[in-house]
C-alpha cells in the first residue's frame, strides 16, 4: 500500500468521496442515455447523498451530545 | 400539443438493446461489456470505469485479501454474494474455494482470493488464525476494501438491468405535473383553475 493511501486510512471519511461519485454516476446512468443529463443527474444525486449524510451526522452528533 | 412534443426531451428515443439476455450476461461477466455489445459505448465506458475502479481500489486497500468465497460454518463470507456481482474479476474466488485444501498451497500456484484458514474453536493463548492475522495486518483497510468491493458488485447489478431493459427514463409528464401543481397552489384551488382553463365559470357549492 502506498504511503499516501496509508496516510488517508486514518481519515476514513475521505473514502466516502470516490464511493459517492461512483454510486451517483452509475445511478444516474440507469436513468438517462445521453452523457450530459447523466452528469447533471449525478451531480444532483451526489449533493443529495452528502446532504443526507450531513443530516444523519448532525442527528447522531446531537444525540451523542445530549446523552 | 405540438408545443408539448417539442419540449419533450430527445432522450426518450428508443434504445437498441440487440439481444437483451446476452447483453445482461456480458454486463455481468465484465462491467460495461453488455453496453459495448449494444453499441452504447459511452455508457459502457462509464460503467466500466466506475465499477471496476471501485472494485480494484477496494481490492487494493484490502491487500488483495477481501475477495474470497467461503461457506464454512466458522466463516460464512456473505459479502462475497455482493462481490460476485462484478463477474470475472471476482470469479477466481469460487475456484479457489473449490480446489484449495486447508493448510496446503493452492494448485493454481497463488493464494490470491483463496479462503483463509480459520480456527473452529479458538482458545485464549492459541495462535491467531489467518483471518485474524489479516484483520490485524490490514487494519481498517480490510473493512473498507470489503465495502468497496461489495458496492462495486451491487452497482453492477444496476448496470446489468440497464443492459437488459434499457434506462428507466424519468417521464417528462411527471416533471410537468409537479411544476403545474406548484403553480396551481393548494388543492382547494385546483377546481377553480381547471374551470378557468376550460373557460367555465366555477360556482362553489355551500351546504347549509
Q: Got the DSSP string for B147-197? A: HHHHHHHHHHHHHHHHHHH---PPPHHHHHHHHHHHHH-SGGGHHHHHHHH
> Does residue A5 sit within a domain?
no
How close, in Å, is residue A52 to chain B by CA atoms? 18
What is the model's pLDDT at position A67?
Answer: 83
Asked if B63 contacts B145 with a C-beta cutoff of 8 angstroms, the reply is yes
Search chain A and give the residue with CA nearest B168: A31
Domain count across chain A:
1
Residue among A24, A26, A35 with most chain B CBs within 10 A, to mutate: A26
SS3 B76: strand
pLDDT one digit per residue (tens) for chain B, 208 residues: 444 444 445 555 678 899 999 999 999 999 999 999 999 999 999 999 999 999 999 999 999 999 999 998 888 999 999 999 999 999 999 999 999 888 888 899 998 999 998 887 777 777 788 888 999 999 889 999 999 999 999 999 999 999 999 998 766 665 556 666 666 555 556 556 655 655 555 555 555 4
> Does residue A13 sit within a domain?
no
Asked if B9 contacts B30 with a C-beta cutoff of 8 angstroms, the reply is no
Q: A19-58, pLDDT tens digit by residue? A: 999 999 999 999 999 999 999 999 999 999 999 999 999 9
SS3 A46: helix
Contact B141 A34 (CB under 8 A): no
What is the model's pLDDT at position B1?
Answer: 41
Name the residue facing A15 among B60, B144, B155 (closest C-beta). B144
> Does residue A10 sit within a domain?
no
What is the model's pLDDT at position B20?
Answer: 95
Name the residue facing A29 among B13, B43, B61 (closest C-beta). B43
ipTM of the complex in this document: 0.86
User: What does the domain layout of chain B look like in residue ranges?
Assistant: 15-165, 170-208
Whether pTM exceeds 0.90: no
What is the model's pLDDT at position B172?
Answer: 64
Tell me how far apart the alpha carbons of residues B41 and B33 are, in angstroms, rounded to a whole number.
9
How close, in Å, is residue B204 to chain A by CA atoms? 42
Chain A residues within an 8 Å CB radius of B135: none
What is the model's pLDDT at position B6?
Answer: 46
What is the model's pLDDT at position B8?
Answer: 46
Long-range contacts of B33-40 (CB under 8 A, 24+ apart): B34/B159, B34/B160, B34/B163, B34/B164, B35/B159, B35/B162, B35/B163, B38/B163, B40/A33, B40/B15
Q: Which domain holds residue A53?
A: 19-66
Q: What cell does B199 get? A: 373557460
> Does residue A49 sit within a domain?
yes
Amino acid at each position: 500500500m502506498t504511503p499516501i493511501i496509508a496516510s488517508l486510512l486514518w481519515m476514513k471519511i475521505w473514502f466516502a468521496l470516490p464511493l459517492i461519485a461512483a454510486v451517483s454516476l452509475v445511478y444516474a446512468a440507469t436513468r438517462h442515455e445521453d452523457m450530459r443529463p447523466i452528469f447533471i443527474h449525478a451531480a444532483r444525486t451526489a449533493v443529495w447523498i452528502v446532504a443526507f449524510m450531513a443530516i444523519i451526522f448532525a442527528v447522531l452528533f446531537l444525540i451523542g451530545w445530549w446523552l | 400539443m405540438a408545443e408539448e412534443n417539442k419540449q419533450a426531451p430527445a432522450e426518450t428515443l428508443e434504445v437498441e438493446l440487440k439481444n437483451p439476455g446476452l447483453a445482461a450476461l456480458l454486463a455481468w461477466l465484465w462491467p460495461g461489456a453488455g453496453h459495448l455489445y449494444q453499441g452504447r459505448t459511452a455508457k459502457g465506458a462509464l460503467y466500466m470505469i466506475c465499477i471496476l475502479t471501485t472494485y480494484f481500489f477496494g481490492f487494493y486497500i484490502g491487500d488483495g485479501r477481501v475477495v474470497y468465497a467461503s461457506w464454512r460454518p466458522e466463516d460464512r463470507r456473505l459479502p462475497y454474494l455482493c462481490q460476485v456481482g462484478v463477474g470475472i474479476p471476482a470469479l477466481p474466488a469460487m475456484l479457489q474455494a473449490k480446489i484449495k485444501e486447508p493448510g496446503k498451497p493452492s494448485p493454481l500456484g497463488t493464494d490470491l482470493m483463496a479462503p483463509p484458514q480459520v480456527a473452529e474453536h479458538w482458545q485464549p493463548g492459541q495462535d491467531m488464525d489467518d483471518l485474524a492475522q489479516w484483520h490485524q495486518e490490514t487494519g481498517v483497510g480490510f473493512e473498507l476494501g470489503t465495502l468497496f468491493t461489495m458496492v462495486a458488485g451491487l452497482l453492477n447489478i444496476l448496470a446489468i438491468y440497464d443492459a437488459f431493459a434499457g434506462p428507466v427514463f424519468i417521464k417528462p409528464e411527471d416533471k410537468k405535473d409537479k411544476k403545474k401543481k406548484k403553480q396551481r397552489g393548494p388543492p382547494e384551488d385546483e377546481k377553480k383553475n381547471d374551470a378557468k382553463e376550460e373557460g367555465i365559470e366555477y360556482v362553489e357549492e355551500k351546504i347549509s
